[in-house]
Structure 1
Amino acid sequence: MTAVSDTPAPVPDPILSTALAADLDAADFRSEPLRRLWGDEADDALARGMREPILRAIAGDQSVLATLGRLLVLGMGQPADAVAEALPRLGVPGLVALGLARVEGDTVVPVALLRPQSFVDAEGIGEWWIASDLDEVALDGALPADHVLGVGGASRTLAEIIMPIEVDRALDLGTGCGIQALLVARHAGVVVATDISARALAYAELNAQINGVSNIDFRLGSMFEPVAGEAFDLIVSNPPFVITPRVDGVPEYEYRDGGLVGDALVEQFLRTAPDFLTRGGAAQLLGNWESRGGQAALEGRAGLDRLSSWVPADLDLWVVQREELSPLAYAELWIRDGGTTPRDAAFTPLLTAWLDDFDARGVSAVGFGYILVRRPPEASASASAPALRRVERVTQPVSNVGGALRAGLAAHDALAGGLPTTLVTSADVTEARHLLPGNDDPSIIELRQGGGFARTISVDPALAALVGACDGELTVMQIAAALADLFEVPFADLWASLEPRIRQLVIDGFMHAAE
């Protein structure tokens, strides 16, 4: 077991947090001013674990912003008088009282990071200040087991896929530093944020105070225990889903390890979450899932098939697998994430433990992606409106995934009453035709989507013609009838071929009902 932090958790205090926020605001301590201060290249280097370019860029700079950058972004000690000048309202004693620093002689030594984090949602562009534990760059070594992570790649990914919907009650399960709770709080009456780590909850509460967010209820406990008997319109979670061997000598990091074997934590979440959803409520999370042996594994389906079996058939399920790693690649990724590299003596024993663990369960691959489970709305919960069951692989770059998921669910609900009479092709859809040399007829016709999941779909001439004609003027049936005459095929046969594919194009966002 890796040692725990040798510094106490922060101590949230609304008055001191307000003073800190006022000082940060006065110093213009935000992403873009900092990036201008030390330059784009140095800023990008920090994301790759290198702080030397920033230090060279601001060498000799004693400005308030440079002082705060070294102290709070890089986690480096600064002269006490410079810190006092940079934080005139909070002061050095206030920074210490919040548990963000300690004083050693004439130097203020940070014991946490506090970095600006920009975001974009339905209301526009904004920015939070997010406090978290010192990272491996500041620590110059492996992370403690109780490390509270800041805003990492997984946090940003989850933020991008959460549907932008207004809800009364939301739950952020496993809140960590609290970034998801802060984002969801913008669209919820109240957010309950839970975590098994008291240290993480302290950071999350402090971050809510610094950013002036007051509609979050913080609760300590594992999984759904702190909200027993309650129901939510939206549940979001970046759970500790990393698959870790349960053997001596393998570090168990609270921010990523749920303490269960294999992908059992994701399974437990998916089997339990529906009991805490209101009618029409949705749960969204990131996760890993294992592919284990058999023909399905050879065909790349085993992990997705296992995951689907965890969710009852009467619930909507939309799974998007973004990547799949071999056991070796997966093990190396997470060993390095903990700060251990192949140059370290501990690397090979850790790698062996991971590979032995995967072999014991016959794991051939580990998938990663987005999972959405929804209890269908009352209006569509009937035999005539089967649940949406969509399991797919999407590897291309994506954008506005949350909006695409919301639109897809809305389209699925609307289609329960039949196809809209009139459809319009979405503005981001283009068509590409591929012709063999000397041939006037295309051998391949593709519809391409500019936003959302950026899908490319091969279509035949009839469907391409229908999509091209859907401008809101003629009804779908009128267009289909004209195409039956044009292609000289019976209308019933053409419609039987077109109708299910039109439905899929509507769910995928290629087309929508005319207003």
Structure 2
Amino acid sequence: MLLDLADDLRRDLDQAVYTVDRLRGLWGDVADDALQRADRVPALRALAGRTEASAILARLFVLGDTVPRDEAERALPATGVAAALAQGLLEPAPSGTEGQPADAVRGTIDLRPYSVVDAIGVAAWWIASDLGELATGRALRTDHVLGIGGASATLSGLMLPDRARSVLDLGTGCGIQALHASRFADRVVATDISARALDFGRLNAALNGVDTIEFRLGSLYEPVAGERFDRIVSNPPFVITPRREGVPEYEYRDGGMVGDALVAAVVSGAAEHLEPGGIAQLLGNWEYRGDDSGSGDSDGGDADGLDRAAAWARDAGLEHWIIEREQADPARYAETWIRDGGTKPRSTEWEPLLGAWLDDFADRGVDAVGFGYVLLRRPADGALDRGAAAPSALARVERIPEALGENPAGLGPHLSAVLAAHDALVALGPDGVDAHAFRVAPDVTEERSHWPGEEAPSALVLRQGGGFARTLRVSPAVAAAVGAYDGELALGVIASAIAQLLELDERSVLDEIRAETLELVRGGLVVP
């Protein structure tokens, strides 16, 4: 087992200074950009003739290259090539490989450095997974274990950084979310339906010296029956795959259910596995079924995908904040995921696969598929009022397709702050807002536009630098109030002064400032 090599391999990786910065320095920015496009040629050329251990390791475990055995021995002195071959970390290169000696070897897994900055600080790990198409040049195997992809990076950036006693990572894959959760949790349980994925997860925990993660095999919530957690995180296999002959089903992205039923099951199942006040965060797809799929009204019928997602949460008795970031038509959605599996456009497999996906969507009346972020919370009293919610409960759906703001530590701290603000407003109650002091968030700026020759501004816009980069056009009265929010004077006092200054009706000004302030708090531009 590869796990048996973890201690020696960790020593070799550490001694080789096998880091993100080191590899980028070896092959340069141009090759690094090419690798993001799944083109390894510039990196291979940059490493040709390099004898550093880090270069040899990158050729073996990132680029899928073959290297002479003696070079591999120098790069893996503690592990040893014999042990690496015996345990399946390396394999003999195919016979007749041009330009290589007969004893050349190559890596069997993808093993690369990873680093990230979050609210806790800098994290640097080594992450093992299956070799991808870049290294193998072939379509992925159906039990492929994915490394760190765009979706997993998105979810880790969304994680609330607040301390937790226990976290469930549902569908852990290679274990990257469990590693992130281990930074703020006392205990992490990581589950997956794939035994191969759990093997990689255990290896990654061992490689990085993390001993607070427990790995369990099973589908959805079965491995944690009867248990509750302070936090649940999940990058579930949410891809909507046709249940048709000839369409490959990849374990890392396909949950084996029809349409968006897998995401619905993760949402509904979270209710019984969250502690009171516990929070679940996941990524997901939801289908639009009907002519009004592009509607911005989130209170419409079942055709609206956001309505469907919100209904899953309501029916489970959970508070929710669901954000749609993208929406794709059936053809674009199908093309994206067919490519993801390694099938090339205009290959013999391409058109039959695309036809199968489009037939599936057409048969079920699906016009579009949404993608976004789901945040769920069990009420603090633990009660699950299924199908209804208290007026003060968090129940929010929105579309935010624009670019995000500057969030060096990810969106997690912003989400945490907005949740805290929501709870603060609930605690104040409708009668307490006017007597409360607010402050403007430090990343908010004001923009004024003037018509030539006019003294008064024609437009006042508040712009958020971080978070979701929200912008809100406001009146002079609201702009003045926000400018005065320093955490000292109460909203009602400020509104009264502004009404007198602008010679406006005090009640009207107060109502306007209060309503807009509440909206600004919900967006994170103003903080109670």
TM-score range, shorter chain: over 0.9
Give deviations 1:216-272, integer Å, cap 9, x for gaps. 000000000000000001100000000111000111000111111111111111111
Q: Specify the SS of the correspondent of 1:207.
A: helix
Is residue 323–residue 400 contact of structure 2 (8 Å, CA) maintained in 1? yes
Deviation per CA, 1:8-47: give whole Å up to 9, x if none. Answer: xx5322xx21111111111100110110011111011111
Question: Counterpart amino acid of 2:185?
Answer: A
1:288 aligned residue: 285
1:71-98 CA distances to partner (integer Å, 9 max, x unpaired)?
A: 1111222211111111111111332354
Q: Letter of the aligned partner of 1:286 in structure 2?
A: L
Aligned with residue 201 of structure 2, among 201, 204, 210: 204
Q: Secondary structure at the match of 1:416?
A: helix
* Alignment deviations for residues 471-506 of structure 1 (CA, whole Å, 9 cap, x no partner): 234222211111122233332332222223212212
**Which has the higher mean CA deviation after the structures are superposed, 225-234 or 288-297?**
288-297
Per the TM alignment, residue 427 of structure 1 is displaced from its structure 2 partner at its CA by 1.3
Q: Does residue 395 of structure 2 align to residue 389 of structure 1? A: yes
Q: Which of residues 214, 217, 232 is equivalent to 2:229?
A: 232
Q: CA RMSD in A?
A: 1.9
Counterpart of 1:364, as a letter, is: D
Q: Note closer, same or farther for the CA distance 1:80–1:372 as it changes in structure 2 (3 Å cut).
A: same
* Contact kept in structure 2, 1:11 and 1:206, CA below 8 Å: yes
Q: d(CA) in 1 for partners of 2:513 and 2:86?
A: 67
For the pair 1:74 / 2:63, whether they are aligned, the reply is yes
Partner of 1:244: 241
Contact 1:113–1:131 (Cα < 8 Å) also in 2: yes
Q: Does 1:427 align with 2:469?
A: no
**Alpha-carbon distance in 1 for matches of 2:251, 2:167:** 23
Alpha-carbon separation, structure 2, partners of 1:449 and 1:338: 38
Q: In the TM superposition, what are the counterparts of 1:321-470 in structure 2 within 5 Å?
A: 321-378=324-381, 386-398=392-404, 399=407, 400-418=410-428, 419=433, 421-470=436-485
Describe the SS at the equivalent of 2:480.
helix
Of all paired residues, the percent bearing the same amino acid is 53
1:321: how far off?
0.8
Q: How far 1:437 sits from its partner (Å)?
A: 3.1
In structure 2, distance between residues paired with 1:508 and 1:366? 25
Can you list the C-alpha shifts for 1:414-467, whole angstroms capped at 9, x where unaligned?
111223722111111101122233333223211001111111111111111100
The residue type equivalent to 2:123 in the other structure is: G
- Taking structure 1 as the reference length, what is the TM-score of the superposition? 0.94
User: Which position in structure 2 is the counterpart of 1:32?
Assistant: 21
Q: 1:80 to 1:429 in 2, by over 3 A?
A: same
Deviations 1:199-218 (A, max 9, x none): 00000100000000000000
- Structure 2: gaps of 5 or more residues: 94-101, 299-303
Q: Is the 8 A contact 1:380 1:416 kept in 2?
A: no
CA deviation after TM superposition for structure 1 residue 385, in Å: 6.1
Q: Corresponding residue for 2:311?
A: 309
Q: Which runs of 5+ in 1 are unaligned?
A: 1-9
CA distance in 1 between partners of 2:146 and 2:297 (Å): 32
Work out the CA distance in 2 between the residues paired with 1:120 and 1:129: 15
Distance 1:150 1:296 in 2: 33
**Match runs of 1:480-495 below 5 Å:** 480-495=495-510
Amino acid at match of 1:39: G
Give the length in aligned residue pairs: 502
Find the counterpart in structure 1 of residue 148 from structure 2.
151
